[in-house]
Amino acid sequence: MATTTINGKEVVVDDEGFMTDYDQWDRQIAEGLATAIGVDMTDEHWKIIDFLRDDFKVKGETPTIRRVSSEGGVDIKRLFQLFPKKPAKKMSYIAGLPKPHGCV
Amino acid sequence: MILGGGTAGTMAANKLHKELPSGEWQITVIDADDNHRYQPGYLFMPFGTYTPDQVTKSRRAVLNSSVDLQYGEIDVVRPEEKVVALTDGREFAYDMLIIATGVSPRPDQTDGMLGPQWQESIFDFYSYDGSKALADKLKNWTGGRLVVNIVEMPIKCPVAPLEFTFLADSFFKDKGLRDQVDITYVTPLPGAFTKPIAAEAFGNTLQAKDIVVESDFMLMEIDNEKKALVSYDEREVPFDLLVTVPLNMGAEFVARSELGDELNLVPVDKFTQLSTQYDSIFALGDANDIPASKAGSVAHFEIDIFVENFLQHIAGMEMTHRFDGHANCFIETGDGKAMLIDFNYDYEPLPGKYPYAGVGPMNLLKESRVNHLGKLAFRWIYWNVLMPGRSMPLPPLMSLKGKKTELLDQNQSKEPAFSA
């Protein structure tokens, strides 16, 4: 574990730079994380990030792409447009959540 | 009441039968038919190693004779009333319910999979019919681009697609066709497997066999005209023969009963398998949502722990046993060899020896002949030891003895979050 400063705030991150403390996150930090991976946040992005945060709070796990699509009501194709190439990883990174674990 | 008389349901029924006083409890199993399939055998059928009749026994014959077996399709569970309703109108009341209806391949969930190329050049080996049809196809196939694909995780037996690929390599070598066949492994995972140390070992084996890996591939649709897989990020992988593992989903009655998540898996406590919604419902084996492999070996270790917990639960006591997600799987690597992996919720598969430290005789994460013999012997063990609920001389919880744990520190991922 290491700490890093995002938009002037110090946060704890793991080896890959994912935040590890749910409560350290705020929207300003999320803006910083999004900028770092080249995502320009719009209302549509925020709606999805909010869904991830809310769902994690209830389930204790980062939702998969399928879950974001079926429960969050966003087409998977659209997720790939909003968070290009690696939507699962990018969404959870911005939302300050662990990567969704591909279950073995 | 046990829904599903497959691997998990049968083991649970036969083990509970031994523990529950017969005057107080009646065990009923409900399943659609009498065909208990040895699903690990589906891997071998396409190559002619097992014939279809070698993978099937009567459910009735595998269950203890005092367990009641009813045939029928489940319509819905009404948990508030503790009733299971079948589509033929029959209703069964229960005191405790165990959902063990597993997961099934769902080719209907991917656009284009059930198109004109289905069972012409698109096959699956996760169903009895699919595996049989693929065996017929492989008999006469003369070569071209073979693509092995996983649509989405989680799937049953997550190593099976790798094994299929290794066995296909071996199969075509034996036929003298290998140089006519291009093999590509297309996966939604970032590498050959989910866990880093095993992913590296499998990745090396794939490379040594000249198999190309197309990773991070989220399948959007199958283009039947072009005969190509198309991903959401607009990559295309053409094929002459596609062997796909369709999306795996839990039973539809689980959704109708509002007991499941988006894949119809029943949310449970990962240590006890008790439903998070109802304290009269457990879900065992592939049907639940625990973060472990969907595999018979997991169900086996899980049910050893579950029986202890169940007895406490019905006595009104707190459940004190905790399942650790333990799994071990033989992985066929072709040419008469296999690997073995042993892992749980907390520890990824590591190299070493199993079950005895330093001695083995099985080798973890390393190809060997003895592992392959273990895999073949497993069919006998399945029918004669596991299904009747006899004990295996293996502890249900995972042990770190004999494993090279020092690799865990060396292998901590140092890569940055995103490589553009």
Write the CB contacts of B35 (distance below 8 Å, at least 6 apart in sequence): B56, B58, B59, B128
Using CB atoms, pick whichever of B152, B343, B417 lies closest to residue A17. Answer: B417
Of B208, B230, B248, the residue at which a domain comes to its end is B248
The residue of chain B nearest to residue A33, with distances taken between CA atoms, is: B417
Q: What share of chain A has pLDDT > 90, as a percent?
A: 65
For residue B34, the surrounding DSSP H or E stretch is none
B34-52 pLDDT, tens digit each: 999 999 999 999 999 999 8
Q: Are residues B148 and B31 in the same domain?
A: no
DSSP-assigned states of every residue in A47-98? HHHHHHHHHHHHHSSPPPHHHHHHHH---HHHHHHHS-S-HHHHHHHHTT-P
How many domains is chain B partitioned into structurally? 3
- Residue B16: band (very low, low, confident or very high) from pLDDT cuts 50, 70, 90: very high
- pLDDT higher than 90, residue B269: yes
| B412 chain-A contacts, CB cut-off 8 A | 15
CB A37 within 8 A of CB A43: no
Q: Are residues B213 and B279 in the same domain?
A: no
Structure tokens at B168: 């296909």
Residue given tokens 């770190």 in the structure block: B400
Q: Are residues B377 and B298 in the same domain?
A: no
Residues of A with CB under 8 A from a CB of B: 15-18, 37-38, 61, 65-67, 70-71, 76-77, 79-80, 84-86, 89-90, 93, 101-104
Q: What is the mean pLDDT of chain B?
A: 93
**Range scoring the smallest mean pLDDT among A19-23, B139-143, B169-173, B395-399:** B395-399
ipTM: 0.81
Q: Are residues B116 and B239 in the same domain?
A: yes
| Inter-chain CB proximity A38 and B420 less than 8 Å | yes
- pLDDT higher than 80, residue B392: no
- pLDDT higher than 90, residue B405: no
Q: Is residue B132 part of a domain?
A: yes
- At residue B17's C-alpha, the angle toward residues B12 and B21, to 5°, is 135
Q: Is residue B416 part of a domain?
A: no
E-assigned strand segments in B131-203? 144-150, 181-186
Q: Are residues B175 and B194 in the same domain?
A: yes
- pLDDT higher than 90, residue B376: no
For helices A87-94 and A27-36, angle between their N-to-C axes, nearest 10 degrees: 140
CB B125 within 8 A of CB B243: yes
CB B166 within 8 A of CB B130: no
| Inter-chain CB proximity A89 and B195 less than 8 Å | no
Q: Are residues B164 and B184 in the same domain?
A: yes
The residue of chain A nearest to residue B348, with distances taken between CA atoms, is: A104
Q: What share of chain B has pLDDT > 70, as a percent?
A: 97
Q: Is residue A74 part of a domain?
A: yes
For residue B325, the surrounding DSSP H or E stretch is none
B237-251 average pLDDT score: 98
Residue with the larger pLDDT of the pair A59 and B99: B99
Q: Are residues B66 and B167 in the same domain?
A: no
Q: What 3-state class would DSSP assign to B269? A: coil
Q: Which of B155, B194, B261, B344 to mutate to test the interface with A (most CBs of A within 10 A)?
A: B261
Q: Is residue B299 part of a domain?
A: yes
Q: Could you list the residue range(s) of the whole structural domain that residue B363 is in?
A: 327-410
Q: Are residues B233 and B360 in the same domain?
A: no
Q: Are residues B349 and B286 in the same domain?
A: no
- Residue B245: band (very low, low, confident or very high) from pLDDT cuts 50, 70, 90: very high
- pLDDT higher than 50, residue B420: no
CATH code, domain carrying B240: 3.50.50.60
Q: Is residue A30 part of a domain?
A: yes
Q: Could you list the residue range(s) of the whole structural domain that residue A61 is in?
A: 2-94
- The pTM assigned to this predicted structure is 0.91
**Range scoring the smallest mean pLDDT among A6-20, B56-70, B281-295, B296-310:** A6-20
- pLDDT higher than 50, residue B259: yes
Q: Is A43 a catalytic residue?
A: no
How many domains is chain A partitioned into structurally? 1
Q: Are residues B29 and B58 in the same domain?
A: yes
Q: From edge to edge, which strands make up the β-sheet containing B281-283?
A: B68-71, B28-31, B2-3, B97-99, B281-283
- pLDDT higher than 70, residue A103: no
| Inter-chain CB proximity A103 and B414 less than 8 Å | no
| Inter-chain CB proximity A15 and B412 less than 8 Å | yes
Q: Is residue A71 part of a domain?
A: yes
CB B252 within 8 A of CB B102: no
- pLDDT higher than 80, residue B151: yes
What per-residue confidence (pLDDT) applies to B402? 86
Residue with the larger pLDDT of the pair B199 and B17: B17
Q: Are residues B112 and B31 in the same domain?
A: no
Structure tokens at B380: 């006998």
| Inter-chain CB proximity A101 and B233 less than 8 Å | no
For residue B29, the surrounding DSSP H or E stretch is strand B28-31
